[in-house]
Chains A and B, each alone.
Chain A
Amino acid sequence: EVQLVESGGGLVQPGGSLRLSCAASGFTFSSYWMHWVRQAPGKGLEWVSRIKGDGSRTSYADSVKGRFTISRDNAKDTVYLQMNSLRAEDTAVYYCARGARVGFLIDYWGQGTLVTVSS
């Protein structure tokens, strides 16, 4: 059974940093793209970032480019999202999701972790 469990959310001040983690199980982690998606309060889903299975390629939404960094540790079956220079508008539930091994899709999702940026 595919499982994705996010952790690391919490309250952080504007300008601060936070690192989210997503522990994966139930599939060959290193073969799959992984994504981060967020949902701000009362808003829709926003795609944030993705990373290829071997970690060789990454991409970001313009809203986080230069501030967020996605990475993965395939030995630990874990993907990370390092978030720096946080702003109030980064307040959201952050979801980890599994992408494709081959093709273009997102299938399994974690339950999400809440990040609140406030003074």
Chain B
Amino acid sequence: QTVVTQEPSLTVSPGGTVTLTCASSTGAVTSGYYPNWFQHKPGQAPRALIYSTNNIHSWTPARFSGSLLGGKAALTLSGVQPEDEAEYYCLLFYGDTWVFGGGTKLTVL
């Protein structure tokens, strides 16, 4: 069974920078896993942020960026805002199915 692992929780100060990562139990994450990133706040629908590693949607704030880092997919938030406090999920493609990571709870404090 494929497992996608994210940091359970991270804390960042307003205005700071934080990087969330996404690892695969099958080995290094490459562009062929087409990493997607989503933001999810309680009571709301998830919101797509990044697709295919580093492509932003038209609504994604410029402070969000995606990359590959040390064999993992990564989501970096630069100049964090209080409204960025949320759960963040990565999603990886495994040939015919998709698997979400367990999520990272980001606290802005």
Answer yes or no: B34 CB below 8 A from chain A CBs. Answer: yes
* Minimum Cβ distance to chain A for residue B73 (Å): 13
Closest to B95 in A: A59
CB distance from B66 to the nearest CB of A (A): 12
Cα of A104 to Cα of B73 in the assembled complex, Å: 15
Contact residues, A31-73 vs B (CB, 8 A) = 35, 37, 44-47, 50, 59-62
B:70-96 near A, CB below 8 Å: 87, 89, 91, 93, 96
Of B40, B46, B93, B102, the most chain A CB neighbours within 10 A belong to B46
Proximity bits, B96-109, A CB within 8 Å = 1, else 0: 11111111000000
Q: How far is the CA of A83 from the CA of B73 in the complex (A)?
A: 33
* CB contact between B48 and one of A46, A47, A60, A107 (< 8 Å): that residue: A107
Q: Is the CB of A50 within 8 A of B98?
A: yes
The size class of the interface chain B forms with chain A is: 20 to 34
- Report the separation of the CA atoms of residues A103 and B93 in the bound assembly, to the nearest whole angstrom: 11
With A45-B103, A47-B99 known, 18 other A-B pairs at CB within 8 A are A37-B46, A44-B89, A44-B103, A47-B91, A59-B97, A60-B97, A61-B97, A97-B46, A104-B36, A105-B36, A105-B51, A106-B36, A106-B51, A106-B91, A107-B48, A107-B51, A108-B48, A109-B45
Residues of A with Cβ closer than 8 Å to B? 35, 37, 44-47, 50, 59-62, 95, 97, 103-112
